Amino acid sequence: MIYEEKTMKSDRIYEGKVLSLRIDTVELPNKKYSKREIVEHPGAVAVVAVTEDNEVVFVRQYRKAIECELLEIPAGKLELNEDPMECAKRELKEETGYESEDMELLCETHTSPGFSNEKIYIYLAKNLKKGKANPDEDEYVESETISMEKIMNMIENKQITDSKTITGFLMTYSKLK
């Protein structure tokens, strides 16, 4: 049996630069009503960039929402009607200086489907060319490369906790091993 929730009413209560928030009143399969808080997001991309030495390019940045610094794969928000592959190339170059014309889509993943419609397109980038990073003016990131074995240990030891990074890395590790 498929359980669907019919939207009876939808109220947008916040419209921001990065996301919007709406409250939906839904009819449940048992004919009762409930409210759902939905975060609307335009989507994002993330890139697992693998060097010729078989290391992965990471960015280190402070994340205010969780009040700590994270080690992540390069990522960024899609602009309106932007092609995800083009966004992935742009974000990789902006955050790390690396460029690649050898990119493939690894997977698409919904980050938190319980309350958000955000979807991230995760790409694998190979045959990298190093250039100069050019992060957004409100973005403070440092890039570094890490071996696959060390990344696996860092995930196991909870030193890497970002879900898009773990998903992208494990997809890459499985594909390249």
pLDDT on residue 109: 98
135 vs 33, 74, 117, CA distance in Å? 46, 11, 26
For the question of residue 104 being annotated catalytic, the response is no
Domain boundaries, the chain: 6-40, 44-111+120-176
Rounded to whole angstroms, how far apart are CA atoms 121 and 45? 5
pLDDT on residue 15: 96
Rounded to whole angstroms, how far apart are CA atoms 42 and 77? 7
SS3 of 93, please? helix
pLDDT on residue 1: 66
Rounded to whole angstroms, how far apart are CA atoms 145 and 160? 14
Instruction: Check 72, 137, 139, 144 and give the catalytic one.
Output: 137
pLDDT on residue 133: 82
Mean pLDDT for back-to-back runs of 10 residues, the chain (177 residues): 91 96 97 98 98 97 96 96 97 96 98 97 98 80 95 98 98 93
SS3 of 168, please? helix
pLDDT on residue 177: 79
**What residues have CB less than 8 Å from 44, skipping those under 6 apart?**
75, 76, 77, 78, 118, 119, 120, 121, 164
Fold of the domain built from segment(s) 44-111+120-176: Nucleoside Triphosphate Pyrophosphohydrolase (3.90.79)
Pairing of strands 142-147, 55-63: antiparallel
132: left (phi over 0), alpha (psi -120 to 50) or beta: beta
